[in-house]
């Protein structure tokens, strides 16, 4: 029966903090807001023996239920029980995993990245850049996990109850705590309580280590070097030596009392130093190619010489060199091949020659491989990390506890000398440096045994810069580029000497200058929570309030970019096929595209607030209901100086007032409108949303003492604080000028590198009154002021059955689901209507576009090399450009334009991408989880997840991924159903096995427990721990080139439905042909000048390939991380632990994704695998002194 009126005391054994109360009429008592740690429970009632239980573990965000049985007797008699908390989760319906203190401290962590332990939870998939040390990686990769089927990098992460996420792109983790400072953490993957919001997947709650009445501390060193590591798979294959490697990770911690029982501290410091060689593969021009000699430049497939054609000899024009007419198309070849396939020296562009003379290009290092990846070098990369944590706890009184923590994390990526020539102009790792600072304060006040108020304040600052190594180079003096615009590149940015070497993209010969970036982001959070126990109800009422700042500058092309293709030197520039070469086009100085960017600082602001009520209702001893509701007000993005425009698709740009489209006869709709004006009187991008109410429901029913069934569901609002495309990269602060060199689809060219912007460029306008003029012809993210789907939300649901066996063994089977609605995405609103594409594809009549005249087949002047459908030729026909004189740069500044362009929705803009909330997803998973606990925190656990993840949108941080999907904006905005497919990061099977086990030999253990001296030294103190990961590969998605449609459409290949796409054999056998490449074709591949019988409708096919292919996947993961350690007492309380760790113990290679670009080019490497996705076996040795 129940026993009311018993006095219950709960004591934190580390700090002696006490909670005291009296059991209620139902014989129960609840203690809330407990600091994670180990507790002692004492129960007294006259007429009964005193009950004492030690070793009760209270985990973060956990509510353990302790059953107490009082026996008749005297208070002088005591029942003493020692044991851990039960494994059954009887109070909450959420699905999750607790990673305990020993797991944090002892599981092998590559780079000591504690967030990697998130992957120990079911339904978690690590994505690009998240695993291992974050040094040398994009800083946004730290939290890049897909949790519970939600969008990657958009879960919620907390450290001591305050966020560690920057608001840029929603929920980006910018603070990864040192494991030395983390006590434990919980990963909730489904159906979290109403206390949490602003995420799409799950919640990660980390708790820091605190001081106690006993001093404790550590000193440690983890060391790794070349001798301990294995070589990469491709390094071995190429006969390369193991790359240099040296890594030291050292630091220590100290905690204890300042005033016993009152004031405590804990501090931890860690340094990470890494220097390693990375095998870089590049394609560089040969010495002959640099002189223009392509006489031995051969097709990889056929072995034939790749012909290089002279664009000056294009039929139907006057030769720019001789001034004579080249002859009519159809009577002479399209273009003539350079004699001997050698470009004369006097035809090499002067800027290209200076670029060649600059110390950028290296000589090939791989003999015989002259077309692809003919340069290999182990270049040194690395970086330095430093982290300091300091925490203080003050028991101000028995009823009030104060907590404060300061954390500073600094990380620096070192520059890379890629080509070994002492220069950094090909550096793919622009040196990045950031400092994350966090301050958190908490005040927990216990008014009485049933009422507790917890107030938390957090301040997070993220300072970041990415500075190219060649910043400040003189573009005009070094390369001869024109003074306008290149001599004025930093005129309005506020950053002096902002010039860098131009980025050259010449096919596979890419020479880059990474962008310039500065950020100083801040967030202030305030989280009060009142907990009230009222009878059977435990109520939580609280708020989450956050003010965020994004102070940001980014210019991705401070030196401009020039993009080259084989079209200028192909036989037919409109359909180049396997002729011509991008590097040859570079030598002639004829780009087919490029950019120049003008950027300014942005100072974004947003204010988020949410309010919640959560009720844990103990209906009866077996049934607990979790009822909650959360009201989220996501906030509106604004800019300090009102440098924001919205796009009004119904308005008329005043510059075009009174003008009509000569093709459609309609006025030009679509204009930008500045905020804080008569047109857009508010300062924000949209109205705030007050309609996002998110209910939560859950139940936990204890069927027997050892079995519980749980379930529930709820609504969860997605992050929507600040997204770059909403404002940070908005068009009034970032104006990208586009290079246009041809008006007839690369048939002829009117300018080159020497004068890439013949009509000038535009600087970013800010709030300049002429902004409407400046933005004409531009593009990018054009934000619509609408409320459609804002912000997005997900539905989550689950049901789980858990059983606890004897000897602390728990098994759980669960089904979880997630349905995503209005997820962040971007649509291309300027695509040519699908009706035009369909009409051209279905047209059975054949015409040629000869010169600029549409001539039906059989009529005089018809040219088979230019054949098309008649409607297709009509779309491609050049018409007078109505914007001449109004638009200064890009494809809309030329004298004529294709008719198709004027049929776009907003022809006055080069592009119109609409960021918003249009995406959807559906996730279903079956989970099986088991955990066996041992004494002193030891455990063996594992889980298996069988899942299916369908989406039409991918991560908002897609640049971190090497995934398969192609973005929505690149394909059919008009038909989003075509985007619905397996997620690029769908993982069908995932199995994790982890263990922290003390071997049962030696002092205090099961066998030889009395061992001393040499025996104890040999057999005692041994522990083994590790993590094994088995995972199926990601699905593959394909693209196709050349794209003969254009008009805003991406292109996917055609797949032969009668072709078996799979290839038998091991992964090693399939490196050169991962799948059956003959099943794939470019939709327009049959459309070639040499085959007049080919159906010209092929030009207008979009391809039948889905966004991701359900039948083809990349290589899976088979990884074992393992550690063995020996702990020896060296005196008093001091222990020495020697430790050896191996990551990828069996040196199993995980191959990178194969080439998925279907093309007609001679250099096609479709289906070929050339990269290793994982690291080879890495070993490190460590010692730890602890007391």
Sign of CA dihedral 1090, 1095, 1100, 1106: negative
Using CA atoms in the order 339, 341, 345, 351, what is the torsion angle rounded to 10 degrees?
130
Q: Give tens-digit pLDDT for 408-438.
A: 999 998 878 777 777 666 555 567 899 999 9
DSSP 298: B
> What region does 251 belong to: left with phi over 0, alpha with psi -120 to 50, or beta?
left
Which residues of 332-431 form beta strands (DSSP E)? 336-337, 375-397, 400-413
* Cβ 1052 vs Cβ 1103: under 8 Å: yes
Tokens for 870? 């008649």
Q: Rounded to whole angstroms, how far apart are CA atoms 1008 and 1023?
A: 15
Q: Using CA atoms, how far apart are residues 274 and 780, in angstroms rounded to an integer? A: 38
H/E stretch holding 486 reads helix 483-486
Torsion over CA of 368, 373, 374 and 375, rounded to 10 degrees? -150
Instruction: Find the CATH number of the domain harbouring 62.
Output: 2.60.40.1120
Distances (CA, A) of 412 to 382, 938, 971, 1186: 9, 36, 38, 29
Instruction: Give the span between the Cα atoms of 586 and 569, in whole angstroms.
Output: 10
Tokens of 492: 């309005």
Angle at 704 between CA 714 and CA 796, to 5 degrees: 10
Q: Does residue 1100 fall inside a structural domain?
A: no
d(CA 256, CA 213): 6
Asked whether 1000 and 1088 are in contact (CB, 8 A), the reply is no
The CA-based dihedral angle spanning residues 1154, 1157, 1160, 1164, taken in that order and rounded to the nearest 10 degrees? -30
116: CB partners within 8 A, 6+ apart: 109, 110, 126, 130, 131, 132
Separation of alpha carbons 460 and 164, rounded Å? 7
Side-chain-side CA neighbours of residue 51 (13 Å):
20
Q: 733 near 601, Cβ under 8 Å?
A: yes
Distance between CA atoms of residues 332 and 98, nearest Å = 75
Judged on CB neighbours under 10 Å (0-12, 13-18, 19+), 1037 is buried
Say if CB 610 and CB 633 are below 8 A apart.
Answer: yes
Contacts of 910 by beta carbon, 8 Å cutoff, 6+ apart: 738, 777, 778, 779, 890, 891, 892
Contacts of 358 (CB under 8 A, 6+ apart): 425, 478, 479, 501
- Do the domain assignments include residue 156? no
Contact 1026, 994 (CB under 8 A): yes
Please say whether the beta carbons of 1098 and 1084 come within 8 A: yes
Residue in this structure with the two tokens 């570079």, named with its chain if needed: 586
910 neighbors 738 (Cβ within 8 angstroms): yes
> Locate tokens 């080259």: which residue?
564
Whole-Å CA distances, 1092 to 863, 864, 892, 1042: 10, 6, 32, 19
* Cα-only R_g, the chain: 33
Could you count the other beta carbons within 10 Å of the beta carbon of residue 1001? 18
Specify which residues 710 forms β-bridges with.
Answer: 700, 800
Residue whose pair of structure tokens reads 């279905």 in the numeric block: 842
- The residues that bridge with 541 in the sheet, in sequence order, are 530, 613
Question: In this predicted model, what pLDDT tens digit does every residue of 798-838 receive, in sequence order?
Answer: 999 999 998 889 999 999 999 999 988 878 888 888 889 88
In a domain, 52, yes or no: yes
- pTM of the complete model: 0.87
Evaluate whether residue 293 is within a structural domain. no
Angular region, 525: left φ>0, alpha ψ -120 to 50, beta rest: beta
61 lies in which domain range?
7-82
Strand order in the sheet with 593-599: 509-511, 503-506, 561-564, 593-599, 734-738
In-domain check, residue 768 = no
Tokens representing 519 are 């950020």
Distance of CA 284 to the CA centre of its chain: 30
Instruction: Name the β-bridge partners of 597.
Output: 736
Per DSSP, the residues of 799-837 read EEEEEEETTTEEEEEEEEEEEEEEEEEEEETTPPPHHHH
Residues written for the chain = 1187
Greatest Cα pair distance in the chain: 118
What is the 8-class DSSP label of residue 87?
A: S
Distance in angstroms (rounded) separating the CA atoms of residues 1142 and 624: 44
Percent of the chain that is helix, strand, coil (3-state, to 5): 10, 40, 45
φ/ψ (deg, to 5) at 802: -125, 140
- The answer to whether the beta carbons of residues 84 and 800 sit under 8 Å apart is no
Is 635 inside any structural domain? Answer: no
CA end-to-end distance (rounded Å), the chain:
46
Tokens representing 588 are 């002639």
**Any domain includes 697:** no
Q: What are phi and psi of 477, to 5 degrees?
A: -75, -35
Cα-to-chain-centroid distance, residue 1138: 36
77 by Cβ neighbours in 10 Å (0-12 / 13-18 / 19+) ranks as: exposed
β-strand 156-159 against 162-163: which pairing, if any? antiparallel
User: Under 8 Å CB-to-CB from 367, ≥6 apart: which residues?
Assistant: none
DSSP strand pairing (203-208 vs 156-159): parallel
Q: Which two tokens stand for residue 568?
A: 């200028």
Positive/negative CA dihedral, 1150, 146, 438, 58: negative
Contact criterion met (CB below 8 Å) for 1003 and 1011: yes
**pLDDT means over runs of 10, the chain (1187 residues):** 78 85 78 84 80 82 75 62 68 90 94 94 92 78 92 93 85 93 94 93 95 95 94 88 90 96 96 86 85 90 91 93 89 93 96 81 77 79 93 94 97 82 62 92 93 96 84 74 65 46 56 74 96 93 95 82 90 87 92 85 91 95 95 90 88 92 94 89 84 95 95 92 53 83 87 85 84 79 66 95 91 97 85 89 90 90 85 93 87 88 91 82 97 85 97 83 50 73 95 96 88 89 97 93 73 91 95 95 67 72 89 96 96 94 97 90 83 93 96
Number of domains into which the chain is organized: 1
71 within some domain: yes
For residue 37, the cross-strand partners are 58
Q: 978: closest CA among 1050, 872, 912?
A: 1050
Distance (Å, whole) CA 587 – CA 244 = 36
Contact between 314 and 325 under an 8 Å Cβ cutoff? The reply is no
251, 270 Cβ separation under 8 angstroms = yes
List the structure tokens of 218. 């550590």
């Amino acid at each position: 029966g129940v026993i009311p009126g018993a006095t219950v005391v709960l004591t934190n054994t580390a700090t002696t903090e006490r909670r005291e109360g009296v059991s209620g009429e139902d014989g129960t008592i609840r203690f809330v807001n407990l600091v994670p740690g180990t507790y002692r429970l004492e129960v007294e009632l006259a007429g009964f023996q005193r009950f004492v239980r030690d070793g009760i573990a209270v985990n973060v965000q956990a509510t353990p239920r302790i059953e107490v049985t009082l026996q008749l007797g005297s208070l002088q008699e005591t029942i003493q029980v020692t044991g851990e908390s039960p494994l059954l989760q009887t109070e909450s319906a959420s699905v999750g995993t607790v990673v305990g203190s020993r797991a944090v401290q002892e599981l092998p962590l590559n780079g000591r990245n504690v967030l990697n332990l998130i992957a120990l939870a079911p339904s978690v998939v690590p994505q690009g850049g998240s695993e291992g040390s974050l040094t040398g990686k994009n800083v946004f990769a730290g939290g890049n996990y897909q949790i519970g089927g939600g969008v990657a990098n958009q879960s919620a992460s907390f450290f001591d109850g305050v966020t560690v996420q920057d608001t840029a792109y929603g929920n980006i983790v910018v603070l990864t705590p040192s494991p030395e400072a983390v006590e434990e953490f919980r990963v909730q993957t489904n159906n979290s309580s109403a206390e949490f919001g602003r995420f799409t997947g799950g919640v990660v709650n980390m708790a820091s280590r605190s001081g106690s009445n006993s001093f404790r501390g550590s000193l440690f060193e983890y060391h790794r070097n070349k001798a301990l590591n294995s070589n990469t798979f491709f390094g071995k294959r190429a006969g390369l030596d193991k790359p240099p490697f040296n890594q030291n990770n050292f630091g220590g911690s100290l905690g204890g009392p300042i005033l016993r029982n009152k004031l405590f501290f804990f501090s931890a410091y860690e340094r990470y130093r890494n220097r390693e060689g990375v095998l870089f593969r590049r394609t560089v021009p040969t010495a002959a190619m640099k002189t223009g000699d392509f006489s031995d430049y051969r097709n990889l497939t056929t072995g034939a010489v790749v012909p290089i054609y002279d664009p000056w000899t294009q039929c139907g024009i006057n030769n720019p060199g001789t001034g004579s007419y080249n002859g009519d198309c159809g009577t002479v070849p399209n273009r003539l091949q350079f004699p001997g396939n050698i470009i004369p020296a006097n035809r090499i562009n002067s800027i290209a020659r200076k670029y060649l003379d600059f110390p950028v290009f290296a000589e090939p290092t791989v003999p015989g491989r002259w077309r692809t990846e003919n340069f290999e070098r182990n270049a040194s990369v690395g970086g330095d990390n430093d982290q300091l944590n300091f925490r203080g706890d003050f028991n101000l009184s028995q009823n009030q506890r104060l907590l404060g923590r300061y954390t500073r994390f600094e990380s620096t990526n070192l520059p890379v000398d890629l080509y070994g020539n002492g220069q950094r102009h090909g550096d793919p790792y622009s040196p990045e440096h950031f400092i994350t600072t966090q301050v958190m304060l908490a005040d927990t006040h216990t008014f009485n045994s049933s009422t507790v108020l917890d107030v938390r304040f957090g301040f997070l600052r993220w300072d970041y810069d990415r500075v190219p190594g060649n910043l400040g180079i003189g573009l005009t003096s070094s390369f001869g580029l024109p003074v306008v615009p290149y001599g004025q590149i930093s005129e309005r940015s506020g950053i002096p000497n902002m010039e860098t070497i131009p980025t050259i993209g010449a096919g596979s010969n890419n020479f880059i200058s990474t962008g310039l970036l500065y950020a100083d982001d801040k967030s202030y959070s305030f989280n009060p929570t009142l907990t009230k126990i009222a009878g059977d109800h435990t109520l939580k009422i609280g708020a989450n309030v956050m003010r965020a700042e994004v102070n940001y500058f980014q210019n991705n092309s401070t030196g401009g970019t020039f993009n080259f293709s084989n079209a200028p030197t192909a036989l037919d520039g409109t359909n180049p096929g396997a002729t011509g070469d991008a590097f040859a086009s570079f030598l002639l100085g004829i780009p087919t595209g490029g950019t120049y960017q003008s950027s300014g600082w942005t100072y974004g602001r947003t204010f988020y607030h949410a309010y919640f009520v959560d009720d844990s209702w103990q209906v009866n001893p077996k049934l607990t209901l979790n009822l909650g509701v959360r009201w989220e007000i996501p906030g509106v993005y604004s800019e300090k100086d009102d440098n924001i425009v919205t796009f009004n698709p119904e308005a008329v740009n005043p510059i075009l007032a009174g003008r009509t489209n000569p093709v459609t006869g309609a006025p030009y709709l679509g204009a930008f409108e500045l905020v804080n004006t008569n047109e857009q009187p508010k300062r924000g991008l949209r109205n705030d949303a007050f309609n996002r109410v998110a209910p939560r429901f859950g139940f936990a029913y204890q069927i027997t003492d050892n079995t519980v069934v749980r379930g529930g569901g709820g609504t969860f609002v997605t992050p929507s604080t600040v997204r770059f495309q909403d404002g940070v990269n908005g068009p009034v602060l970032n104006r990208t000028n586009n290079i246009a060199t041809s008006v007839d689809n690369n048939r002829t060219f009117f300018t080159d590198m020497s004068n890439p912007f013949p009509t000038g460029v535009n600087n970013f306008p800010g709030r300049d009154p002429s902004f409407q003029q400046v933005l004409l012809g531009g593009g990018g993210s054009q934000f619509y002021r609408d409320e459609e789907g804002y912000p997005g939300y997900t539905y989550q649901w689950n049901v789980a059955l858990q059983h606890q066996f004897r000897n602390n063994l728990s098994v759980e089977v669960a089904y979880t689901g997630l349905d995503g609605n209005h997820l962040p995405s971007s649509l291309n609103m300027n695509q040519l209507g699908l009706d035009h594409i369909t009409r051209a594809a279905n047209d059975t009549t054949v015409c040629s576009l000869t010169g600029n005249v549409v001539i039906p087949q059989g009529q005089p002047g018809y040219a088979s090399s230019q054949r098309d459908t008649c409607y297709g030729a009509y779309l491609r026909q050049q018409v007078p450009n109505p914007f001449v004189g109004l638009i200064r740069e890009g494809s809309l500044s030329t004298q004529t334009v294709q008719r198709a362009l004027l049929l776009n929705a907003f022809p006055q803009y080069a592009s119109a991408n609409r960021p918003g909330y249009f995406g959807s997803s559906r996730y279903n998973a079956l989970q099986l989880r088991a955990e066996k606990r041992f004494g002193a925190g030891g455990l063996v656990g594992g889980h298996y997840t069988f899942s299916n993840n369908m989406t039409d949108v991918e991560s908002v941080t897609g640049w971190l991924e090497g995934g398969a999907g192609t973005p929505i904006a690149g394909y059919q905005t008009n038909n989003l159903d075509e985007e619905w497919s397996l997620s690029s990061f769908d993982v069908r099977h995932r199995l994790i096995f982890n263990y922290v086990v003390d071997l049962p030999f030696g002092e205090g253990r099961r066998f030889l427990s009395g061992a001393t001296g040499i025996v104890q030294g040999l057999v005692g103190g041994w522990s083994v721990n590790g993590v094994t990961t088995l995972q199926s590969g990601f699905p593959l998605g394909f693209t196709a080139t050349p794209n003969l449609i254009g008009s805003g459409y991406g292109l996917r290949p055609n797949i032969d439905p009668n072709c078996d796409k799979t290839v038998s054999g091991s992964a090693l056998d399939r490196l050169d042909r991962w799948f059956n490449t003959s099943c794939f074709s470019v939709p327009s591949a049959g459309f070639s000048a040499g085959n007049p019988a080919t159906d010209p409708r092929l030009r207008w096919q979009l391809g039948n390939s889905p966004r991701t292919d359900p039948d083809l996947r990349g290589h899976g993961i088979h990884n074992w991380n393992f550690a063995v350690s020996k702990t020896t007492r060296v005196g008093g309380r001091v222990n020495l632990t020697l430790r050896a760790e191996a990551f990828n113990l069996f040196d199993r290679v995980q191959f990178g994704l194969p080439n998925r670009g279907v093309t007609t080019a001679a250099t096609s490497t479709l289906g070929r695998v050339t990269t290793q996705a994982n690291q080879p076996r890495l070993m490190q040795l460590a010692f730890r002194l602890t007391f």
